[in-house]
Amino acid sequence: MTAAKTYLPGLVGKGASAPEFVSRDAVVGARGGHVRRDVRQLWVINVSAPQEAALRLEANGAMERHASGDDVAFRKLYAIVADRLFHYLQRRTRDAARAEDLMQQTLLHMHRARGSYDATRGVFPWMYAIAHNLVVDSVRRGGREVLHEADGGHAVNEPLCAEGAADEQLIGLQLEQQIAVVLEGLTERQRAAFEYVRHEGLSYAEAAEALGATVSALTALLHRADTAVMAAFKGGED
Amino acid sequence: MLYHPTDPSDPPRPPKPSPAERPRTGDADFLAKLDADPAPTRQRIRVQNLILFVVVACILAEIFRWWGGVRPQGRPLSLVVETAIGAACIAAVATWTLAGRGRSMTGRTTTFLGIAGFATPLALFVWKIFWSAQFQGMMGVGPMGPDGLPRFGWKCLRLSLALGLFPLLAMALVRRNSDPNNPRLTGATLGVAAGACAWVFTDLWCPVGNVSHLLVGHVLPITLLAALGAALGHLLIGVRAPR
């Protein structure tokens, strides 16, 4: 865990200033450290900024066509967002089956609400807001987060960055678990702010929209979450 | 776990897909289910909303006509017109800001809704008091009841509730399943917007500008509609997982 201890606080401090969209290759090349790659993958969305922007435009366009009555366009939207959404939900629930169920509920809701979609508004904040709400609702209804081996071969204790050598994966897994423990201690909104910006790579404006808050409120929530994470890791070093 | 060293001469293994990249079992079934679930398109929603708006407007006009319509009852015409125009403008702005979603698919922010929700009845109240104070005797207690006591405003309360109920239901239907963040607050502000619309009609009907009467007969129904709206918001407007 030496690498994690020395690396993560600096990363959080850097990430707190602005959301980052960095290609993985660029990060790995710049850092030159094979161990840090997996750590980085936990924090930075794994596509470059132009790719991300194009992806969002494509998603917005597909939803717009779907709202106008093009049923096939939803398949395109599904192809764009399903993996990302599943990934997010799996991290929140730690249960692949439940994540898949919630993903389908989220997309079903988006499909049913297509008539109210406005092309000038982004799909991603909307999608994350719905997904977050469904997770919270699901937990409140008794589906407390259960850490167990999920069915279908989706092992819970498997790091989300599954490439690389075993030591990289191990460090990634341990980091992820440590972060998850810290996030458990945060309020729901702080956790959501952290997830949206640090894990999902939403901009501050998008994350604020997804939370139904102002950008300044989002910044405050994120700052508290970052501080908690940094404090936990600094405490681990002592 | 045993450690198995890898021979460098071995062919490279394909990278193990992350859990998120693995094929999910239900994708095809889910998409087939969506195909069989015809959701209303934007065009259809617009038509539905237009029909709803016309129906609610007709209901409001009929209730107002049945209740007695415009009653100056000694008020100067200019007072009636000025208070009505001002209240109509405030109600229009309130409906536009509180019933709409703004520049977001998830609705307006909590701060905005909170401020606008409080500011609307306050603005209506201040506007009414301000113009009533400009005219001699327009802030009196009004006509006495059969028991010789001043009327508290129960009739205005009933009229406001009757007029506000239908716009509130209509707005809640239009906004159903649309707010994942603050459904109760959104519902409450819809109640305020509906109450503001009702205020315009009640103001045309009621000649009394007394403060206690206005608080009971005109402001209290907005509060009650906001409470009802909050309940409707929880039931209708929020995004909830199916049981």
pLDDT digits (tens, 9 = 90+) for A187-238: 989 999 998 988 888 889 889 989 888 899 999 999 998 888 888 777 655 5
A133 to B109: CB separation less than 8 angstroms, yes or no: no
Residue A132 has pLDDT above 50, yes or no: yes
Chain A CB contacts of B182 under 8 Å are: 212
Question: What residues have CB less than 8 Å from B98, skipping those under 6 apart?
Answer: B108, B113, B116, B117, B120, B189, B190, B192, B193
Q: Which of A68, A87, A126 sits opposite B105 (nearest CB)?
A: A126
Query: How many interchain CB pairs under 8 A, A with B?
Result: 144
Pair A207, A196: CB distance under 8 Å: yes
Chain B CB contacts of A160 under 8 Å are: 18-20
Chain B CB contacts of A137 under 8 Å are: 239-241
How many Å apart are CA B63 and CA A230, to the nearest integer? 62
Greater model confidence, B243 or A59: A59
In the structure, what pLDDT confidence band is assigned to residue B9 with cuts at 50, 70 and 90? low
How many Å apart are CA A50 and CA A115, to the nearest integer? 29
The CB density around residue A81, as the number of other CB atoms within 10 Å, is 26
Give the pLDDT score at A165. Answer: 65
Give the pLDDT score at A144. Answer: 52
- Residue count (chain A): 238
Give the pLDDT score at B242. Answer: 61
- Residue count (chain B): 243
Residue A148 has pLDDT above 70, yes or no: no
Residue A125 has pLDDT above 60, yes or no: yes
Helix spans in chain B (H): 27-35, 42-67, 77-99, 110-133, 154-174, 183-205, 211-214, 220-232
Mean pLDDT of chain B: 85
DSSP state of B15: P
Among chain B residues, the shortest Cα distance to A141 is held by B243
Q: Which of B19, B26, B104 sits opposite A160 (nearest CB)?
A: B19
Q: Which of B15, B21, B239 sits opposite A130 (nearest CB)?
A: B239
Lowest mean pLDDT among A224-238, B58-72, B172-186: A224-238
Among chain A residues, the shortest Cα distance to B30 is held by A104
Pair B141, B210: CB distance under 8 Å: yes
Give the pLDDT score at B23. Answer: 55
High-pLDDT (> 90) share of chain A, %: 14
Nearest to B121 by CA among B209, B51, B226: B226
Greater model confidence, A182 or B18: A182
B110 to A212: CB separation less than 8 angstroms, yes or no: yes
Chain A CB contacts of B42 under 8 Å are: 67-69, 114-117
B144 — phi, psi (to 5°)? -80, 155
Lowest mean pLDDT among A19-23, B7-11, B16-20, B68-72: A19-23
Greater model confidence, B72 or B47: B47
How far is residue B148 from each of residues A92, B73, B145, B151, measured CA to CA in Å? 66, 19, 5, 9
High-pLDDT (> 70) share of chain A, %: 68
Give the pLDDT score at B167. Answer: 95
Among chain B residues, the shortest Cα distance to A76 is held by B31
Q: Which amino acid is residue A38, in one-letter code?
A: D
Q: Which of A78, A161, A214 sits opposite B111 (nearest CB)?
A: A214
B106 to A126: CB separation less than 8 angstroms, yes or no: yes
Lowest mean pLDDT among A162-176, A216-230, B29-43, B213-227: A162-176
- Residue B102: exposed, middle, or buried by beta-carbon count in 10 A (0-12, 13-18, 19+)? middle
Please check whether residue A199 touches B, CB under 8 A.
no
Q: Which of A82, A137, A161 sits opposite B241 (nearest CB)?
A: A137
In the structure, what pLDDT confidence band is assigned to residue A38 with cuts at 50, 70 and 90? very low
Please check whether residue A216 touches B, CB under 8 A.
no
The shortest C-alpha distance from B116 to chain A (Å) reads 15
Nearest to B91 by CA among B231, B218, B182, B211: B218
The owner of tokens 């009229």 is B159
3-state secondary structure chain A: CHHHHHHHHHHHHHHCCCCCCCCHHHHHHHHCCHHHHHHHHHHCCCCCHHHHHHHHHHHHHHHHHHHCCCCCHHHHHHHHHHHHHHHHHHHHHCCHHHHHHHHHHHHHHHHHCHHHCCCCCCHHHHHHHHHHHHHHHHHHCCCCCCCCCCCCCCCCCCCCCCCCCHHHHHHHHHHHHHHHHHHHCCCHHHHHHHHHHHHCCCCHHHHHHHHCCCHHHHHHHHHHHHHHHHHHHHHHHC
Among chain A residues, the shortest Cα distance to B6 is held by A165
Which residues 113-172 of B are in CB contact (within 8 Å) with A? none
Please check whether residue B36 touches A, CB under 8 A.
no
| pLDDT tens digits for range B96-112 | 999 888 878 888 888 89
**Most confident region among A68-77, A150-159, B144-153, B212-221 by mean pLDDT:** B212-221
- Paired tokens of B120: 């609307």
How many Å apart are CA A199 and CA A136, to the nearest integer? 18
Please check whether residue A228 touches B, CB under 8 A.
no
How far is residue A196 from each of residues A23, A25, A132, A193, B220, measured CA to CA in Å? 18, 22, 10, 5, 40
A117 to B42: CB separation less than 8 angstroms, yes or no: yes
- Paired tokens of B182: 């603050």
Give the pLDDT score at B194. Answer: 96
Chain A CB contacts of B35 under 8 Å are: 71
- Residue A209: exposed, middle, or buried by beta-carbon count in 10 A (0-12, 13-18, 19+)? buried
A158 to B19: CB separation less than 8 angstroms, yes or no: yes
A152 to B30: CB separation less than 8 angstroms, yes or no: no
B95 — phi, psi (to 5°)? -65, -40
Substitution target in B171, B176, B181 with the highest count of A β-carbons within 10 Å is B181
Please check whether residue B189 touches A, CB under 8 A.
no
In the structure, what pLDDT confidence band is assigned to residue B91 with cuts at 50, 70 and 90? very high
Which residues 23-52 of A are in CB contact (within 8 Å) with B? none
- Paired tokens of B115: 């401020």
DSSP state of B13: P
Pair A121, B104: CB distance under 8 Å: yes
Please check whether residue B8 touches A, CB under 8 A.
no
| pLDDT tens digits for range B110-159 | 889 999 999 999 999 999 999 988 888 777 766 666 666 667 788 899 99
Give the pLDDT score at A19. Answer: 33
Helices A166-184, A215-237: inter-axial angle, 10-degree rounding: 120
Among chain B residues, the shortest Cα distance to A90 is held by B20
